[in-house]
Amino acid sequence: MEQSAVVIVKLQEWAALYGLRIIAAVLIFVVGRWIARFLTNMIEKLMKKRCVEATLVSFVGHLLYTVLLIVIIIAALNQLGVQTTSFIAIIGAAGLAIGLALQGSLANFAAGILIIIFHPFKAGDYIEGAGTAGVVESVQMFTTQMKTPDNRTIIVPNAKLTSDNIVNYSIKEDRRLDLVFGVSYADDLQKVRDVINRVLSRESRILPEPAPMVGILELADSSVNFAVRPWVKGGDYWPVRFDLIENMKKAFDAEGISIPFPQTDVHLHKEEEK
């Protein structure tokens, strides 16, 4: 009986000493886990609203939840009296080693996060960057996948995109065509201007505002160059460009306006025999 009483007393002392700590640790773990899940879901919803790639949303969500869970477990163990300094040191050393081994991958991942935050482009945009150009198909964890106009797939590391200039041709609704047409010095400049304006007026895809600009760009070596700058919808850029160049050539031919081109004159001199 005396031995049983001693055991009961010991249990009571242990419960008094560690009971509150255990309850506090359990509460920290349960509540912390709920908060981690809540924050993760909120971040995932925010990323989905920004039309971020589903793979990247899932990866970021799992990474954030894992990091928060590790912090919660360390806090719970610390509440129980476990010395967590060594755990933190081990985790830090492991993180440093992994970071050094995966410098390039981590740089690409960080660049992907920057793309998500600042949103310089989205899927479907035609962009130019990192020495290439194409339509963005998807923004993934470490790379951005693009499709060129001739249907080639280009996979560009995110770090290369964010470290260079990015030209987004789709972010604005309207685009300006920059065309140059050279005519002979012998042609009537007012007549040339009238023919150009007539061709422009027949193209229904050209926007009335801003009005097309037609002016003499330069007096070149063998031609007078006219700058022709109409505005069109982004989706009509290339069709209108091709049609305008063709129609302008036809109109110049019909009006007798010449388009100079480089020529080489060869003169043969016959030397008489003495």
Three-state DSSP string of 226-253? EEEECEEEHHHHHHHHHHHHHHHHHHHH
Report the amino acid identity of residue 121. F
**pLDDT (tens digit per residue) in 160-190:** 988 888 999 988 899 999 999 999 999 999 9
Rounded to 5, what percent of the chain is helix, strand, coil?
Answer: 55, 20, 30
Looking at residue 155, its pLDDT comes to 92
Task: Write the CATH number of the domain with boundaries 120-168.
Answer: 2.30.30.60
Percent of the chain with pLDDT over 90: 36
Distances (CA, A) of 80 to 17, 98, 109: 10, 30, 36
CATH (residue range 10-101): 1.10.287.1260
Has residue 98 got a pLDDT over 60?
no
**Which one-letter amino acid corresponds to residue 269?**
H
CB 260 within 8 A of CB 205: no
Residue with tokens 């008489």: 272
**Residue-wise pLDDT tens digits, 255-264:** 999 988 776 6
Round to whole Å and give the CA distance between 192 and 139: 48
54-97 pLDDT, tens digit per residue, is 656 766 777 788 888 888 888 877 777 766 666 666 666 666 66
Delimit the CATH 1.10.287.1260 region(s) of the chain. 10-101
Region 174-254: CATH code: 3.30.70.100
CATH 3.30.70.100 domain extents, the chain: 174-254
How open is the CA angle 151-114-134, to the nearest 5 degrees?
A: 15
pLDDT of residue 191 exceeding 90, the answer is: yes
Would you say residue 251 has pLDDT above 90? Answer: yes
Q: Reduced to 3 states, what is the DSSP secondary structure of residue 178?
A: coil
Q: What is the rounded end-to-end Cα distance, in angstroms, of the chain?
A: 149
Q: Cα–Cα–Cα angle for 7, 10, 15, nearest 5°? A: 125
Q: Are 65 and 36 in contact (CB under 8 A)?
A: yes
Pairing of strands 231-233, 174-176: antiparallel
Question: Which element (helix H / strand E) includes 159?
Answer: helix 158-162
